[in-house]
Amino acid sequence: MFNRLFRLSSYTAALLVLVILAGIFGVLYYYARDAIHDFGFWHFITTSTWEVGEDDEGGVFGGLIPILGTLFSTGIAMLFAVPIAMGIAVFLTEIATEKLKAPVGIAIELLAAIPSIIYGMWGLFYFGPMLQRLFGGQSNSLLTAGLVLGIMVIPFMAAISRDAINTTPAVLKESAYAMGATRFEVVKDVIFPYAKRGIIGSMVLSLGRALGETMAVAFVIGGVFRFPHSLTQPTISIPVLLANNFAEAGDLELSAMFYMALILFGISFITITIAKFFFLKDQK
């Protein structure tokens, strides 16, 4: 009796998740259909103008710039975050003494829990101007956005990778040491292959977070609809575009924004599916 009730309620919950997912997709599609009809897919994602027509009616809307802004800022973030996060994870598991592990580990977890707006403010007032002094260009730029995003996901990625690395059995590592492996060889040949799925999972989840991040990026990317000819110039990303323009958008622009949201949804959905793929394979 209890068993059946339990099964029924968990099935309902699982079904609800699917319904919500389909519902979100349906709503996005419904509101985006005018823009989809007017601009098509290829045309929309290869057009770099975002102009409202006369009297706030109609206009030409293309997603190229925010799509590039999102992909590039996320790409920079990952290029920056992956090596550092891996270094931290290896340090925490293989190199730090027991006394150091706990405080540094807790600090990493705390950093992972800081609201993203705080990273954004730090980037706006301190980190962006510093980058400008170093590399020239503008203080709010694609580079600043990418690096702030990278710094934001490092603790998250490091903490999950550390947990994955910690599942490597001690005897397996010891066997490699006992054959004359160096610490570096043990990390490269035993630990990474063993913890591979968890580590890749941490990267894909971080990627998903970076793709959808709004607050931190809104502060530092500049928010201008402009094609960035160098990394130190400002541009815009999909979530920032949505947050900035929603309030005063006309009908077609609103529809184009829902189209943008649909594309972001698609990009995130694909990355999470990849993450799922690795986690599922891990459980066999």
Partner 1 sequence: MNLAMETKEFYFTYAGAEAPTLKGIDMPIYANKVTALIGPSGCGKSTLLRSWNRIHDVYPGNRYEGEILLYDKEGNEENILSYSKEDELIRLRQRVGMIFQKPTPFPMSIYDNIAYGLRLAGIKNRSELDGRVEKALKGAAIWNEVKDRLKQSAMGLSGGQQQRLCIARAVALKPELLLFDEPTSALDPISTGAIEELVTELKEEVTIAIVTHNMQQASRVSDYTAFMYLGDLIEFGKTEKIFVNPKEKLTEEYITGRFG
Give dist(CA 277, CA 272) in Å, integer. 8
- Closest approach of partner 1 to the CB of residue 179, in Å: 4
**By CB under 8 A, which span of 41-49, 113-121, 167-175, 262-270 interacts with partner 1?**
167-175
**By CB under 8 A, which span of 13-21, 130-138, 187-195, 264-272 interacts with partner 1?**
187-195
**By CB under 8 A, which span of 33-41, 171-179, 208-216, 230-238 interacts with partner 1?**
171-179
Tell me how far the alpha carbon of residue 21 is from its chain's centroid: 19
Among 1, 17, 18, 178, binds partner 1 (CB under 8 A): 178
Q: Tell me the residue ranges of DSSP E strands in the chain.
A: 50-52, 59-61
Binding flag, residue 173, partner 1 (CB under 8 A)? yes
Binding flag, residue 193, partner 1 (CB under 8 A)? yes
Binding flag, residue 185, partner 1 (CB under 8 A)? yes
Three state DSSP letters for 142-161: HHHHHHHHHHHHHHHHHHHH
Binding flag, residue 103, partner 1 (CB under 8 A)? no
Give dist(CA 88, CA 100) in Å, integer. 12
CA distances from 3 to 8, 11, 12, 14, 16 (A): 9, 12, 14, 16, 20
Binding flag, residue 5, partner 1 (CB under 8 A)? no
- Closest approach of partner 1 to the CB of residue 34, in Å: 53
Q: How many helices (H) and strands (E) does the chain have?
A: 13, 2
Among 46, 167, 182, 273, binds partner 1 (CB under 8 A): 182
Total residues interacting with partner 1, rule: CB under 8 A: 21
- Torsional sign, CA 252, 258, 261, 263: negative
Given the rule CB under 8 A, which residues bind partner 1? 97-98, 169, 171-183, 185, 189-190, 193-194
